[in-house]
Chains A and B, each alone.
Chain A
Amino acid sequence: QSALTQPPSASGSPGQSVTISCTGTRSDVGGYNHVSWYQQRPGKAPKLMIYEVNKRPSGVPDRFSGSKSGNTASLTVSGLQADDEADYYCSSYTGNNNFPVVFGGGTELTVL
């Protein structure tokens, strides 16, 4: 199972919006509405930000939103804040019991 494809980096100024893409195949992103996004700060565990394409867990600001079109999912962070600077990883269900979830390689978000 190949990793999902994310741009290695993204950036934006405070207050701006930035969108991070996550490209898979019909066997993962395109085949299921089970895409998740995680935020990870250095030395810390991933934190769930979006699940099932566009749902936010309690406590995650509504500045974070998710969407999907075909084999590509996207995470949009609007009203960028310095605290949003982190690595972001997407993941998708694959329907394969022997490898049920595949992650992306990660995008480093820089707030300029």
Chain B
Amino acid sequence: EVQLVESGGGLVQPGGSLRLSCAASGFSLSDYWMHWVRQAPGKGPVWVSRLSSDGSLTFYADSVKGRFTISRDNAKNTLYLQMNNLRADDAAVYYCARGRGSVDSWYDAWGQGTPATVSS
């Protein structure tokens, strides 16, 4: 069974850091492009970042570029999102998702989400 389990969210002050984890089971992360998507309360999801299946390519939304870093550990089959210099508008539930399709445009597996709260 394909499963994604996120962890690492929490309360952090503005300017602080969080490291989110997404443990995958039932498939290998190295076979798929993987994404982070966030969703603020009462809002639609917003794409944040993606990592290529071979691990060589990373992409970021302009709003997080230079502050967030996506990576993975193949041995642990775990995806990460290092979030630095957090701002109030980064507060959201963060989901990892498996990309599918010829242009990696839809997500057939999602984690349960982990919340990031940014407040002093």
Contacts and interface: CB of A to CB of B under 8 A. Distances in A.
B105 A106 contact: no
B103 A100 contact: yes
Interface string B31-51: 000010000000111110010
B44 A100 contact: no
B44 A34 contact: no
Interface size, B (range): 20 to 34
Interface string A68-112: 000000000000000000000101110101111111111000000
Given A36-B106, A45-B111, A57-B108, A100 B50 contact: yes
A18 interface: no
Interface residues of A, number: 28
B107 interface: yes
A36 B47 CA distance: 14
Interface stretch (B12-20, B59-67, B84-92): B59-67
Contacts of A102: 47
A15 interface: no
A10 interface: no
Interface string B91-118: 0000100001101111110111100000
Contact of B61 (A47, A95, A98, A105): A98
Given A98-B60, A98-B61, A103-B47, A34 B107 contact: no
Contacts of A101: 35, 47, 105
B103 A51 contact: no
A102 B106 CA distance: 11
Nearest to A45: B110
Interface of B: 35, 43-47, 50, 59-62, 95, 100-101, 103-108, 110-113
